[in-house]
Each structure stands twice: as structure tokens, then as C-alpha cells.
């Protein structure tokens, strides 16, 4: 008991030390918190305000005009085209990336020789810039006016000439549906297909890596037990592997879709939004409005619509992850 | 093949049914065809960039060069005949990437340490609020970013671009370090506290010696992302002398004066640094890639 008193005293001291350390810990976060508060939340608030202002020329004018710019955008042919392109691009890109990425992962995971070499080749485009991808694929998909070039030439050389197409020079929209209350013809602008191919080339390795991580997380005993029960490989995929890949698939969908909504660099280099805005996305239109037309308010409105689209997807995902983590702890 | 299929130890190569062997053959054929598709653009970049100017023609773009030439690289690097060389931009990118990566690592490590080992009320919510920053489309902050950087004299400067990359790198670097430190047992930290070690002692003596792989993952991630980044470089460095490589390449590819073999050589120059990192440190690159999808 005699030793208890000094122990108590030191523990009180220690508690004070720990309290001081807690304060230091919070203080160390302050620079980052301030930076995020200003550069993310403050800036978004400012953009939101500008999008409802009269700042439509090089002269700063922040008088409030409400939702005028949003109304104008949705009634505008060019922005309607942007949204159509964005939907088509995202759906194609997401679907192909997921299916392709899963196929790559299953093949790499099938105990093949040279597994690491295949994996490295399928993933390497993730390490290079979208600008590099854009330059390379632009020349591949340039159809050639007098004689075929790029992929068309390659098709002709291997006897697949019937596959030749106008690619990034194709101005058609298929099936070119007319809708009375829209200024834009609906469905698939053909020039967006080569852009999807390039984007899939770059990002499907990421989907593969996600699925591979998921596949490696499935215990071998489960697969073994299914085999013993006479499960065919197809049944195994359908009833055991795919359901167990669901969480990974959800993450892949969120990440890939948000990348797709934000796509800018690749299109800038590959098509510049052309031909005739057939591959233009809101991210490019925003850039042009702000830095070529100096219509800052309208640009801010486009940016806010883009932000809202991305947030609809990522905010529930962040909240879901936060919940899942607090359950784990 | 039987060796690499541990789940079927009882079967032998010759004992396997024919259909199985045909299936494997088909699998390899598909995988090799896909690898060829992934390497196709690289092949085109290489054969074009190493041709000399007399051999460059769109109608013979798939022909191999008959002799090895570095003319295209010389033009892409040093410029000439209406083309702006990329040498200056390459230096800019190095001067941008190195400090931005170092600062990002230090900030991320400290944030990760606090958010994993010194949790306080609301720290999890704060973390989620920080993470949101890595998902936003940067178009939504461009307008005020340009205004603020101009008002503090950092617009169209390299430090301004570094600051921007560091700030918008905070979410991902914090995330990777937080998840990394979460795997360090809290008992180690508590033992340190009982020994009277303070906040910084614990960081320096317990966390930091274990952090090398975390630093490598974050450094590679930031290096690759900042080197490859385009939008900030385009907006913030409107002075041509400050352009990073991606902006220089985009300019080159949009120029009517630059032959396409020179553009291909330029593309290779931009791709080489991050490709080297990928080839030699791919494992760490992959970890950064997967960390970006939140689950650590």
C-alpha cells in the first residue's frame, strides 16, 4: 500500500501528459483540416455561389441571378449533347471494364504459367498518363481519308477489311432517335466508341486488380468443398465466386463510374470533344466556357452539375464505408 | 501444369482428359491475344518513334523501321522547325513532382498517425469529410482556385502548382497512411506511453521505423499521379515556360507543325519515368491503387 501513493501521483502526471499529447495530436491535424476546409468545401461553396451570379463576362459581377444558368443549360442543345455523351460513355465504359476486368482476373487466377507477366501487362496502362494514351489511340483510330491508316490499315492487312470504320471522325448518332422535347438526337454517338476502347484499355487492369484481390480473399476450403460436392466450374462461378465478389464489385463500380464522370484528359487529347461535340463531356464544356468564352457563371453551373452527379454516387459510398468500419471496431 | 494446380494433386498431366488440355490451350491463346492488344499501342509508339523522318508515312505506319534512328526523339526533346522541345517541361515536372511528393508523404504520415492512434470525438467523421476531397471533379474548384492563387501571388508559378497537388493529395495520402498505421498494434503505442514517451517520441521511435513500406506506397502513388496529371498543370501554368510534360505533350499533339512520329517520341518520353517505377516497384504501385478504393 505504501507504494500506491507515488504510483497514483505518477499516474496523475501521466494523465496530464497524455492530455497534452491529445491536444498536440489535434493541433497537428489543423493545417490539413484548414486546407481541406478552404480548398474543398470553401471553394465548392464559392463555385455554387458563382453559378447563381451574373459573372458571365471577363468583368467580375457577383450579383445574384438565381438558377437562370441551370435553366439555360438544360435547354441548350450543346449541354444536352454533353449529358447524352456522358451517359453513353459511362454505361459502355463501366459495363466493358467490369466484364473484361472480371474475365482477366479469372484467367490470371487460373493457375497459369507466367501469371505475374500477364498481370503486369494487363495492368501497365494504369501507370501512364491519359495524355499518352490519348496520343497513341488517336493515331490508331484516325481512319485516313484517301487510304486507310491506323487500325483500319491493320484490319486490311490481316484480311479483316470489313471492320473498317470512320472511328473518331464518325459524326453519326445511332439510331438517331428524335424526341420532341429534346434538342438532341438520342442514343450512341459513334465517335464515342473508340474513346471507350482507349479508356477501357487504360482502366480495365484496375478492375482486374480489384477482382483479383477479391478472388484471393475467397478461402480455398470453400471452393474445395464445392468441388467435392460435384459443383461444376460454371456453377461455382455463378453461385459461390460471384456472390462473394459483391463488395469488391461495388467498390469497383463506384471508383470506375466516378472516374468516367470526371474524364477530361483523354478526350482533350483524343478528339478535343469533336467531331461536332459528339464526344464532348461536361468537364470539357466547363473548361471551354471558363477559359475560352470567359462565361464563368455558366462554367460554374456545369461544374456544379458534375459535382452533384459525382456526389450522388460517392457520398452514399463514403457513408456506407464509414458505417461498415465502425461496426468492425 | 499439374504442378501449378495444387487443388488437383491426384491427377497427372497425361491423366487429364483431352478436353481439359484443349481448354488450357484455349485459355493461353486468349490470354496471349489480350496481352498483344494491351501492347499494341506501345508497339506502334516504339516502331514510329525510332523511324527516321524519311520513313514516316501514315500509309506504312505498321512497317518496321529499316534502320534505327533517334531523330524523332531529338526533335521531341530539343525542338526545332516549329516544335517546342520537351526538355524544359521535363525539368519542370521533376521540380514539381519531387517536392510535392515529399511534402505529401510527410503530411499524410502525420495525419494517418493522428487519425489511427489518437482518435478523438468526431475524428472518424472528420476523416470521412477529408476523404470526400479525393472524389470531387476538380472543375468544381477551378474558378476559386485560380482567384485565390492569383491573390496570393502563386498563380502561374511552380510553387502554386506544388501547393495545389499537395492539398488535393491530402485525402489519399491520409487514407493510405491511416490504414497502414491501423495495422500497427495499439499496444505498442500504449507501452510507449507507459514508458513516458510523448506524442512525437512515439511517432519517431515506434511508428516511423515501421513506416518504410507505407512511405514507398504513398511516394509512388503521388509521384505517378502528379507526373501524369493534366488539368491543374494546364490551368495553373499558363506560362509556356512552366508547363509540365503532360501539358507539353498535349500541345505538341495539337500542333500542325509537329509530325506524328515526333508526337509518338514525346509520348514515350512522358511515359518512361512512371513506367520505370511500375516495372521496378509494381507491387507497391498496386497497393496504392487498391488503397484508393477505400478498403485498406
DSSP B216-235: HHHHHHHHHHHHH--HHHHH
| pLDDT score at B8 | 46
Using the Cβ of A88 and the Cβ atoms of chain B, whether some distance falls under 8 Å is answered with: no
Count of CB contacts below 8 A, A vs B?
Answer: 275
C-beta atoms of B246 and A325 within 8 A: no
- pLDDT band at residue B15 under the 50/70/90 scheme: low
- Report percent pLDDT > 90 for chain B: 64
Angle, helix A130-140 to helix A150-157, in steps of 10 degrees: 50
- pLDDT band at residue B238 under the 50/70/90 scheme: confident
Q: Measured between alpha carbons, how far apart are the two ends of chain B, in Å? A: 34
Poorest-confidence range of A76-90, A188-202, B68-82, B210-224?
B68-82
| DSSP bridge pairs for A187 | A175
Q: What is the pLDDT of residues B154-188, one digit of tens each?
A: 999 999 999 999 999 999 999 999 999 998 998 99
Q: Is the dihedral of CA B21, A227, B9, B15 positive or negative?
A: negative
| pLDDT score at A176 | 76
- pLDDT band at residue B4 under the 50/70/90 scheme: very low
Q: Chain A: nearest CA to B5, how far in angstroms?
A: 6
Coil/strand/helix, residue B260: helix
Task: Sort out which chain A residues have CB atoms less than 8 A from B145's CB and list them.
Answer: 39, 43
| pLDDT score at A69 | 95
Nearest to B132 among A17, A154, A318 (CB): A318
Nearest to A36 among B39, B140, B170 (CB): B170
Alpha-carbon dihedral of residues A108, A109, A111, A117, nearest 10 degrees?
30
User: Does residue B9 carry a pLDDT above 60?
Assistant: no
Helices assigned H by DSSP within A109-219: 115-123, 130-140, 150-157, 192-216
| pLDDT score at B25 | 92
A positions 40-79 inside 8 Å of B (CB): 40-44, 46-47, 50
Q: What is the pLDDT of residues B250-290, one digit of tens each?
A: 998 887 777 888 999 999 999 999 999 999 998 898 888 88
User: Does residue B10 carry a pLDDT above 60?
Assistant: no
- pLDDT band at residue B13 under the 50/70/90 scheme: low
The answer to whether B105 touches A307, Cβ cutoff 8 Å, is no
User: Does residue B151 carry a pLDDT above 80?
Assistant: yes
Task: Sort out which chain A residues have CB atoms less than 8 A from B44's CB and list them.
Answer: 136, 139-140
A96: buried, middle or exposed (CB in 10 Å: 19+, 13-18, 0-12)?
Answer: middle
| pLDDT score at A131 | 96
C-beta atoms of A35 and B170 within 8 A: yes
Q: Rounded to an integer, what distance in angstroms lies between the CA atom of residue B59 and that of residue B53?
A: 14
| pLDDT score at B139 | 95
pLDDT under 70: residue ranges of chain A: 1-9, 326-329
Pick the CATH number of A77-328 from 3.40.1360.10, 3.30.530.20, 1.10.10.10, 1.10.3720.10: 1.10.3720.10
Task: Sort out which chain B residues have CB atoms less than 8 A from A154's CB and list them.
Answer: 62
| pLDDT score at A212 | 94
Could you tell me which residues come within 8 angstroms of residue B143 by beta carbon, excluding any fewer than 6 positions away?
A: A43, A46, A47, A50, A290, A296, A299, A300, A303
Q: Chain A: nearest CA to B78, how far in angstroms?
A: 19
Q: Which three cell numbers stand for residue A150?
A: 491506323
A186-189 vs A173-177, strand pairing mode: antiparallel
A positions 122-181 inside 8 Å of B (CB): 122-140, 142, 144, 147-150, 153-154, 157
C-beta atoms of A36 and B6 within 8 A: no
Q: How many CA atoms lie within 13 A of A265 on its CB side?
A: 28
| pLDDT score at A18 | 83
Nearest to A303 among B35, B137, B148 (CB): B137
| pLDDT score at A267 | 96
| pLDDT score at A257 | 95
Which residue in A22, A103, A136, A204 has the most chain B C-beta atoms within 10 A of its own C-beta, making it the best mutation to test that interface?
A136
Task: Sort out which chain A residues have CB atoms less than 8 A from B140's CB and list them.
Answer: 43-44, 47, 303-304, 306-307
The answer to whether B198 touches A21, Cβ cutoff 8 Å, is yes
| pLDDT score at B5 | 42
In the predicted model, what is the mean pLDDT of chain B?
A: 89
Q: Grid cell 438526337 — which residue?
A: A185
Mean pLDDT value across residues B237-246: 89
C-beta atoms of B31 and A224 within 8 A: no
Q: What is the pLDDT of residues A1-43, one digit of tens each?
A: 444 455 556 778 778 888 888 899 999 999 999 999 999 999 9
Q: What is the pLDDT of residues A74-108, one digit of tens each?
A: 999 999 999 999 999 999 999 999 999 999 999 99
The answer to whether A107 touches A210, Cβ cutoff 8 Å, is no
User: Does residue B6 carry a pLDDT above 50?
Assistant: no
Task: Sort out which chain A residues have CB atoms less than 8 A from B125's CB and list them.
Answer: 322
Coil/strand/helix, residue B83: strand
The DSSP symbol for A186 reads E
Amino acid at each position: 500500500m505504501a507504494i500506491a501513493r507515488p504510483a497514483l501521483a505518477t499516474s496523475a502526471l501521466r494523465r496530464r501528459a497524455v492530455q497534452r499529447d491529445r491536444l498536440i495530436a489535434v493541433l497537428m491535424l489543423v493545417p490539413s483540416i484548414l486546407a481541406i476546409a478552404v480548398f474543398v468545401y470553401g471553394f465548392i461553396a464559392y463555385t455554387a455561389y458563382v453559378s447563381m451570379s451574373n459573372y458571365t463576362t471577363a468583368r467580375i459581377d457577383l450579383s445574384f441571378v438565381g438558377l437562370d444558368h441551370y435553366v439555360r443549360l438544360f435547354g441548350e442543345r450543346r449541354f444536352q449533347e454533353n449529358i447524352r455523351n456522358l451517359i453513353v460513355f459511362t454505361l459502355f465504359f463501366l459495363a466493358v471494364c467490369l466484364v473484361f476486368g472480371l474475365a482477366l482476373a479469372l484467367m490470371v487466377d487460373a493457375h497459369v504459367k507466367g501469371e505475374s507477366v500477364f498481370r503486369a501487362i494487363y495492368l501497365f496502362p494504369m501507370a501512364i498518363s491519359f495524355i499518352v494514351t490519348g496520343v497513341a489511340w488517336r493515331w490508331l483510330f484516325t481512319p485516313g481519308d484517301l487510304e486507310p491508316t491506323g487500325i483500319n490499315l491493320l484490319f486490311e492487312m490481316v484480311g479483316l477489311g470489313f471492320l473498317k470504320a470512320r472511328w473518331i471522325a464518325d459524326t453519326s448518332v445511332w439510331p438517331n432517335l428524335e424526341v420532341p422535347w429534346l434538342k438532341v438526337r438520342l442514343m450512341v454517338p459513334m465517335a464515342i466508341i473508340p474513346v471507350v476502347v482507349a479508356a477501357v484499355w487504360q482502366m480495365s487492369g484496375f478492375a482486374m486488380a480489384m477482382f483479383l484481390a477479391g478472388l484471393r480473399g475467397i478461402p480455398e476450403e470453400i471452393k474445395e468443398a464445392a468441388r467435392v460436392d460435384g459443383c461444376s466450374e460454371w456453377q461455382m462461378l455463378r453461385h459461390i465466386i460471384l456472390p462473394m465478389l459483391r463488395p469488391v464489385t461495388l467498390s469497383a463500380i463506384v471508383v470506375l463510374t466516378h472516374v468516367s464522370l470526371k474524364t477530361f484528359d483523354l478526350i482533350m487529347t483524343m478528339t478535343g470533344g469533336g467531331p461536332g461535340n459528339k464526344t464532348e463531356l461536361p468537364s470539357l464544356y466547363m473548361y471551354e466556357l471558363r477559359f475560352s468564352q470567359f462565361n464563368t457563371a455558366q462554367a460554374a453551373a456545369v461544374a456544379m452539375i458534375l459535382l452533384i452527379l459525382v456526389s450522388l454516387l460517392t457520398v452514399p459510398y463514403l457513408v456506407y464505408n464509414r458505417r461498415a468500419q465502425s461496426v468492425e471496431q | 501444369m499439374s504442378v501449378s494446380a495444387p487443388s488437383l494433386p491426384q491427377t497427372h498431366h497425361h491423366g487429364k482428359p483431352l478436353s481439359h488440355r484443349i481448354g488450357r490451350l484455349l485459355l493461353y491463346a486468349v490470354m496471349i491475344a489480350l496481352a498483344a492488344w494491351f501492347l499494341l499501342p506501345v508497339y506502334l509508339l516504339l516502331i514510329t518513334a525510332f523511324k527516321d523522318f524519311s520513313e514516316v508515312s501514315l500509309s506504312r505506319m505498321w512497317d518496321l523501321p529499316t534502320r534505327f534512328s533517334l531523330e524523332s526523339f531529338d526533335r521531341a526533346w530539343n525542338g526545332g522547325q516549329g516544335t517546342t522541345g520537351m526538355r524544359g517541361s521535363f525539368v519542370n515536372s521533376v521540380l514539381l513532382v519531387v517536392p510535392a511528393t515529399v511534402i505529401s508523404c510527410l503530411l499524410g504520415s502525420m495525419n494517418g498517425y493522428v487519425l489511427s492512434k489518437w482518435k478523438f470525438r468526431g475524428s472518424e467523421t472528420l476523416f470521412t469529410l477529408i476523404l470526400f476531397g479525393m472524389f470531387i471533379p476538380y472543375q468544381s474548384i477551378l474558378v476559386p482556385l485560380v482567384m485565390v492563387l492569383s491573390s496570393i501571388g502563386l498563380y502561374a508559378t511552380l510553387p502554386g502548382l506544388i501547393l495545389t497537388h499537395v492539398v488535393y493529395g491530402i485525402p489519399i495520402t491520409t487514407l493510405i497512411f491511416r490504414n497502414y498505421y491501423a495495422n500497427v498494434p495499439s499496444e505498442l503505442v500504449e507501452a510507449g506511453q507507459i514508458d513516458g514517451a510523448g506524442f512525437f517520441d512515439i511517432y519517431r521511435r515506434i511508428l516511423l521505423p515501421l513506416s518504410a513500406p507505407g512511405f514507398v506506397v504513398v511516394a509512388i502513388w503521388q509521384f505517378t499521379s502528379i507526373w501524369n496529371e493534366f488539368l491543374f498543370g494546364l490551368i495553373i501554368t499558363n506560362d509556356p515556360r512552366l508547363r509540365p510534360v503532360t501539358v507539353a505533350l498535349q500541345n505538341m499533339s495539337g500542333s500542325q507543325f509537329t509530325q506524328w512520329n515526333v508526337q509518338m517520341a514525346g509520348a514515350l518520353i512522358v511515359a518512361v519515368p512512371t513506367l520505370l517505377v511500375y516495372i521496378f516497384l509494381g507491387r507497391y504501385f498496386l497497393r496504392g491503387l487498391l488503397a484508393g478504393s477505400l478498403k485498406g
